[in-house]
Chains A and B, each alone.
Chain A
Amino acid sequence: TQLLEQSPQFLSIQEGENLTVYCNSSSVFSSLQWYRQEPGEGPVLLVTVVTGGEVKKLKRLTFQFGDARKDSSLHITAAQPGDTGLYLCAGENNQFYFGTGTSLTVIP
């Protein structure tokens, strides 16, 4: 059972464009994390959000946790080729589940 649905599944954009990735669930999470995975490697943590409505920024990346702690978004401003990768959200709810993933390609 996949508790966390991410959209879009695939995204290909030009360098300099903005984008938003969504992570949605019907379950409430005590925390939600975003990871990025590059080919041949395991996922690496980008951020953890804990409080409903919380917003965290990591350079050009902005993460938001929904007020009800059921969903989250990741916004990237002025995307760069180095942002290319698989973005995964992961929710904590007596278990630790990963979302379906968003594969991002940024074209130079």
Chain B
Amino acid sequence: DAGVIQSPRHEVTEMGQEVTLRCKPISGHNSLFWYRQTMMRGLELLIYFNNNVPIDDSGMPEDRFSAKMPNASFSTLKIQPSEPRDSAVYFCASRVDLNTEAFFGQGTRLTVV
């Protein structure tokens, strides 16, 4: 398996534009997480899916952020409209079940100018 695959690796966009980040979890993994990492706030949990169903989205900053998981092999995180303060590295991670290892993608570095 190629591991968790995220795209794009880097994204530079202008303020106000829509941004879509993509994630392909490891096959057979039932849980998927989206995290945001910044120097100031560390690694923050944004949303967590289990069996494609959003379980907890309390970490999503505001209504500008939305996440979907239409099937077991694909998830998106959308920001609309984007703002400079959204600049961060966004990670997707998947795992088989509770208390098991979480496998991370390489992240998407988002810069909003």
Contact = CB atoms under 8 A, between A and B. Distances in A.
Contacts of A99: 42
A98 B36 CA distance: 11
Contact of B48 (A40, A88, A95, A100): A95
A20 interface: no
Nearest to B101: A45
B29 to A, nearest CB: 13
Contacts of A101: 42-43
A40 B99 contact: no
A95 to B, nearest CB: 6
| 4 nearest CB pairs, A to B | A42-B104, A98-B43, A31-B99, A45-B101
13 contacts: A30-B99, A40-B106, A43-B104, A44-B104, A45-B101, A48-B100, A95-B45, A96-B33, A96-B45, A96-B102, A97-B45, A99-B42, A100-B42
Interface of A: 2, 30-31, 33, 40-45, 48, 50, 88, 90, 92, 95-101
Interface of B: 4, 33, 35, 42-43, 45, 48, 56, 91, 93, 98-102, 104-107
Given A33-B101, A41-B107, A98-B42, 13 more contacts: A2-B42, A30-B98, A30-B99, A41-B104, A42-B105, A42-B107, A45-B101, A48-B99, A50-B99, A92-B98, A95-B45, A95-B48, A101-B42
